[in-house]
Amino acid sequence: MSGSEGSSGHSAGDPPPPAAVKKKDKAKVSRTSLILWHAHQNDPAAVRKLLEEDRSLVQARDYDNRTPLHVASLHGWIEVAKCLIEYGADVNAQDRWKNTPLADAEGARKHNMIELLKSYGGLSYGQNGSHFEPRPVPPPLSNKCDWEIDPQELDFTNSHLIGKGSFGEIVKACWRGTPVAVKRILPSLSDDKLVIQDFRHEVNLLVKLRHPNIVQFLGAVTEKKPLMLITEYLRGGDLHQCLKGKGALSPATAVNFALDMARGMAYLHNEPNVIIHRDLKPRNVLLVNSNADHLKVGDFGLSKLIRVQNSHDIYKMTGETGSYRYMAPEVFKHRKYDKKVDVFSFAMILYEMLEGEPPLSNLEAYEAAKYVAEGHRPIFKSKGYTPELKELTENCWAADMNKRPSFLDILKRLEKIKETIQPDHHWHIFT
């Protein structure tokens, strides 16, 4: 054994000691970040110097699997890109999101870079590129495996139409042996970007909601067409049908229904994430069963989730959203509005439950909304209106939205009113 071999402690054939490997790896990591940094800083000379020392750095990757060419392409640094391509950069390398450098350049509208990459055979793939359009709708949430439903699990053999919406229909179907309500996007609209956006928005909202007075979301079909949203099926139908069939409700039933609605709405309006329903009307309030003893609020197609610093923030949202007959005047007039629009709609529904007919039923829906926006309100005719109920309704439809009570206040007042009203089987003796 020669002296030199003895002093180093290992022969050329042996692997280097762990410390040396670590040091080498560390050097490699720092040079990886260096080349990415120089590419980011638009320093072609520094990039070239690093590549002269170690050609393999041209394939360096960061945590998101992005190469120096991705970085240069996004910023439009032509000289850096040319240098990287000269040293053999893969023009079609894909990052964590499957984006190629060309997709990044297209996303950032760097036209010279787009031409350069195309001249070297660059293709556009991934979320930003021109090939992105025909891909299926990306799932709304990362952990969607919990609720993505395979459409083959839905049985439509005995299905029937429950309702029609603005961009689809709602049918009763069967899922794993259970009756469910399925909101199906019309095939003709399945490629409409705005419809898809609204659909995903509704799914995103529903996934987060858990409350006994809110229709329960069960799952969605987002990976195949038609897009579908699956919720629990409520046998009692909607409040609109119920009132059409029965006419005015007894004060006791009306107050119980109002309590259920207010509980659901108080939950939606709670900070930090306020959900404004924006289309509260009898058709969107569902009865749990045919005995009609409980209600749930449904159809969140127009709802807006707002992250608020405090609940008095006011939002400029699209005017004339929702159904005219139950619409708050500030929405009709395209003014700024907040969650109190739902309180106004609630007052109109309370009125309808006690009167047995829609508010301002002598007018067309649009005319009714216009009449209300001019400061008029429906007239109380029913004997079922106690002074407290009348006062509550008037407070809820106040022209100044700041004077309308919150749903938490409404709940307290309804609880008190409930104590003063005789239960159903006695009430008709007194009228």
DSSP 148: B
Q: How far apart are CA 56 and CA 112, in angstroms?
A: 26
CATH class of domain segment(s) 239-430: mainly alpha
Does the active-site annotation cover 155?
A: no
Phi, psi of 249 (to 5 degrees): -90, 160
Phi, psi of 276 (to 5 degrees): -95, 125
Classify domain 25-119 by CATH number: 1.25.40.20
Q: What is the pLDDT of residue 46?
A: 95
Q: What is the pLDDT of residue 81?
A: 97
- Which pLDDT tens digit goes with each residue over 128-171? 544 443 333 444 444 556 788 999 999 999 888 887 766 678 89
Adjacent-strand bridge partners of 413: none
Q: What is the pLDDT of residue 308?
A: 40
Ordered by start, the domain boundaries in the chain are 25-119, 144-232, 239-430
Q: Is 23 annotated as a binding residue?
A: no
Q: Is the pLDDT confidence value at 184 over 70?
A: yes
Mean pLDDT of 408-427: 84
Q: Which of 95, 104, 260, 279 is catalytic?
A: 279
pTM value is: 0.62
- For domain 144-232, the CATH superfamily is Phosphorylase Kinase; domain 1 (3.30.200.20)
Let me know if 20 is exposed, middle or buried by CB neighbors in 10 A (0-12, 13-18, 19+).
Answer: exposed
Adjacent-strand bridge partners of 183: 170, 229
Q: How far apart are CA 284 and CA 35, in angstroms?
A: 58
Q: How far is CA 198 from CA 140, 168, 192, 201, 229, in A?
A: 11, 12, 10, 5, 12
- Which pLDDT tens digit goes with each residue over 418-429? 999 877 654 444
